[in-house]
Structure formats: structure tokens, C-alpha cells
């Protein structure tokens, strides 16, 4: 099933906070609850967040009691601001909301009811397109994987991080389905453990061999020659190829570069922000310190009472550490300023 979908006039999504212990689908009937679900990481992953926000905007249209188009548009603009503020780093969120609102603005004198239906239809198009985009990326990326490769993967980039199929993990899944014998080393991805909880669970569903490793073990496997590729996702990619991704990606890229191991982000073009010339311009989310302090070992809290923590959610990997960037339109190689622009704009 899809990670996020519209059913019974509600936005429904797999609750990623409770996997792998339980598989639950939750439903939301107002856009503010959808925004909180994004903030609280009920749903996560840049492509999934974008589709969720678009569906949240559709909910806002049906929530509004406005009968005039002008009043409805005012309600939609307010809802768009709420949704876009739910998480700052993933550009797909703002991209999806802006895409819907820009298309709404181009309509010629729609009625309020037709406008509501248009928004829902556009949100569904975004979701459907995401699945097709992921499958195209997967075909391009799978060509980079050789039979017998061991691959280090960070965070979760599978179907759970998208509407379906996934980005970097979608590439790995496709290589597996092509018959390539591969093995995946799954970074735990602290502090929320998206690798240990979500990526491992997905790999089990696909029947792909894997082992979970602590984040600080990746360097050992790279130096020992026991990993041949690294695949990661991206929440926002700047015009020069700098990639913002889950915290720990930068350290993995450094270790890969030092050991001449190819490092590949898998990035839908909707995640490439050509308005930013370099990665230092990407806003970086800092989350509740309790996500770090609340970790437990054998049922006991690991941190001292009254300890403080910093919880930076993303880091930026500079383009000099990146071998190539996989998109649905092909693979970008340095210089990224030219190759990414060509793949995004067709120039």
C-alpha cells in the first residue's frame, strides 16, 4: 500500500513512529492535524512530505465554509503557510504546496466547489507522479550497482519515505529485483533510528539481505574494503550539487571519499533547489533535544538527569564528496551546476 493516500475524504498515512513493532494507518480530516503529523514525523521523507502537504491543502479546501472563491482562496493561503512551516529543510514540502497554489492562481473564474475538487485532483497527480518518478530513478540508479556489491545506506529512503517505491532504497530494491546479489549495511541513523527501524523493516519485506550497523561503524567497513557503494537520499539539493540529508550523511561521505568508495545521492528533481547556489543557504532543522536525551538501553534512560543536548536533524554534504547524483531524468556528474540544471530544466 502507499505511504500516504486520500480515502473517505481523509488523508491517511502509515504511522512511521510505531514501526516495526506495529503497522498502523492513521487518518486526518483537517490540515492543521496534517501539519502536526509532518512535524511529529508520523510521515517523513521528502517526497512523502510533499504529497502529504498537497493532500493537506485539499483538506483545507473542504474544511473551509467559504462559498465565494475569493474567501476560499484566502483560507487556502493561510493553510498553505501552516503546512509549509511544518518542517523547514525538505524542499518538496514547499514545492508541492506552491505547485498547487500556482495552478489554482491560473484558473479562470472557478467556482468554490470546482476549486476544491481541482486541488484534490492536483494532490492526487503529485502522489501518482511521485511513484513513477521513483521507478525511473531506480532504473537509472540500479545501473550503478554491480552483482555482489555491499552497499551502505543511511536513514530511510524506501517506500516509507515516498508515496511508494522510494529513492535510494528504491534503487537498491530494483537492483535486487534485476537479480543482482547485493547486501546492505544499514546505518542505525540516530537519534530517531530510521535505518534500524524503517529501512531494516522494508528490506525484510523485499527479501534483501542486510545487517544493521551503528552509524560510527561505517568507516570501518569502508576502510576494510567491505563496502563498494554508498547510497543516500536528499531533502534538498542546491544548484551546485551540495546535498542536505539526514544528520550523519556528511560523515559517511567523508569516509567514502577517503577510501575511494562511490557516494551516490538519489534525488528527484523536485528536491533540487536551483534558487540556492550552494548548500550553506539550506535551512537546517533543529529538533527537540528529548529525541536525543530520551534514548533508552535495556529499558533505562542512557543520559544523566538534567543533561542537555543538541539535536541537529540534517547536515550538508559538499559536492566535492559526491560521485554522481541520480535523478529521474538521468545521472548528473560534475560539474553539477551544469548537469543538474540540464536535468531539471532540460537546458
Q: In sequence order, what DSSP letters do the residues of 140-183 get, joined into one string? A: HHHTTPPTT-EEEE-S--BGGGSSSSBSHHHHHHHHHHTT---E
Nearest to 326 by CA among 113, 141, 61, 107: 141
Rounded Cα–Cα distance for residues 77 and 126 (Å): 19
Q: What is the pLDDT of residues 245-276, one digit of tens each?
A: 999 999 999 999 999 999 999 999 999 999 99
Residue with cell 532504497: 169
Residue 317 neighbours by CB under 8 Å, 6+ apart: 242, 243, 244, 245, 249, 250, 253, 263, 265, 279
- The per-residue pLDDT for 12 is 98
- Ordered alpha helix ranges (H), the chain: 31-39, 46-63, 69-84, 91-105, 112-142, 168-177, 194, 200-206, 218-223, 249-258, 290-293, 336-345
Q: Catalytic pick from 235, 242, 273, 315?
A: 235
Task: Quote the CA–CA distance of 122 and 10 in Å, as a whole number.
Answer: 15
Eight-class DSSP state of 305:
T
Question: Residue 150 pairs with which residues in a beta bridge?
Answer: 183
Report d(CA 328, CA 102) in Å as an integer: 23
Task: Count Cβ neighbours within 10 Å for each residue of 165-188 and write b for 16 or more, e otherwise.
Answer: bbbbbbbbbbbbeeeeebebbbbb
Known catalytic residue at 40: no
Count of Cβ atoms closer than 10 Å to residue 302 Cβ: 12
Domains of the chain by range and CATH? 4-135 (1.20.120.420), 136-345 (3.40.50.10470)
Distances (CA, A) of 326 to 108, 142, 331: 38, 10, 5
Three-class DSSP category at 259: coil
- The series of mean pLDDT values per 10 residues for the chain, 347 residues long, is 95 97 97 96 94 97 92 95 90 93 88 93 97 97 98 97 97 98 98 97 97 97 98 97 98 98 97 97 96 93 95 98 98 98 92
- C-alpha closest to that of 263 among 235, 236, 233, 229: 229
Tell me, what's the pLDDT at 108?
82
What pLDDT shows up at residue 48?
A: 95
Amino acid at each position: 500500500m502507499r505511504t500516504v493516500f486520500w480515502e473517505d475524504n481523509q488523508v491517511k498515512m502509515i504511522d512511521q513512529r510505531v514501526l516495526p513493532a506495529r503497522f498502523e494507518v492513521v487518518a486526518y480530516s483537517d490540515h492543521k492535524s496534517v501539519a502536526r503529523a509532518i512535524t511529529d514525523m508520523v510521515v517523513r521523507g521528502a517526497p512523502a512530505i510533499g504529497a502529504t502537504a498537497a493532500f493537506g491543502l485539499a483538506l483545507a479546501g473542504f474544511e473551509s465554509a467559504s462559498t465565494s472563491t475569493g474567501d476560499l482562496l484566502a483560507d487556502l493561503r493561510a493553510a498553505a503557510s501552516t503546512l509549509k512551516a511544518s518542517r523547514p529543510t525538505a524542499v518538496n514540502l514547499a514545492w508541492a504546496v506552491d505547485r498547487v497554489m500556482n495552478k489554482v492562481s491560473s484558473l479562470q473564474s472557478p467556482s468554490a466547489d470546482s476549486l476544491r475538487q481541482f486541488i484534490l485532483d492536483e494532490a492526487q497527480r503529485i502522489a501518482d507522479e511521485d511513484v513513477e518518478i521513483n521507478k525511473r530513478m531506480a532504473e537509472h540508479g540500479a545501473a550503478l550497482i554491480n552483482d555482489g556489491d555491499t552497499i551502505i545506506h543511511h536513514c530511510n529512503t524506501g517506500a516509507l519515505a515516498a508515496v511508494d517505491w522510494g529513492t535510494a532504497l528504491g534503487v537498491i530494491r530494483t537492483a535486487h529485483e534485476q537479480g543482482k546479489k547485493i547486501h546492505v549495511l544499514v546505518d542505525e541513523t540516530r537519534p530517531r533510528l530510521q535505518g534500524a527501524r524503517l529501512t531494516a523493516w522494508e528490506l525484510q519485506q523485499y527479501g534483501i539481505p542486510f545487517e544493521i550497523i551503528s552509524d560510527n561503524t561505517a568507516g570501518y567497513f569502508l576502510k576494510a574494503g567491505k563496502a563498494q557503494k554508498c547510497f543516500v537520499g536528499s531533502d534538498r539539493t542546491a544548484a551546485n550539487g551540495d546535498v542536505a540529508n539526514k544528520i550523519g550523511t556528511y560523515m559517511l561521505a567523508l569516509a567514502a571519499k577517503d577510501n575511494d568508495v562511490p557516494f551516490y545521492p538519489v534525488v528527484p528533481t523536485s528536491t533540487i533547489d536551483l534558487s540556492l547556489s550552494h548548500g550553506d543557504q539550506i535551512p537546517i532543522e533543529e529538533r527537540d533535544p528529548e529525541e536525543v536525551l530520551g534514548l533508552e538501553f535495556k529499558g533505562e534512560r542512557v543520559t544523566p538527569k538534567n543533561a542537555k543536548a543538541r539535536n541537529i536533524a540534517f547536515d550538508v554534504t559538499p559536492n566535492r564528496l559526491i560521485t554522481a547524483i541520480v535523478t529521474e531524468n538521468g545521472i548528473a556528474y560534475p560539474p553539477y551546476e551544469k548537469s543538474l540544471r540540464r536535468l531539471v530544466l532540460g537546458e
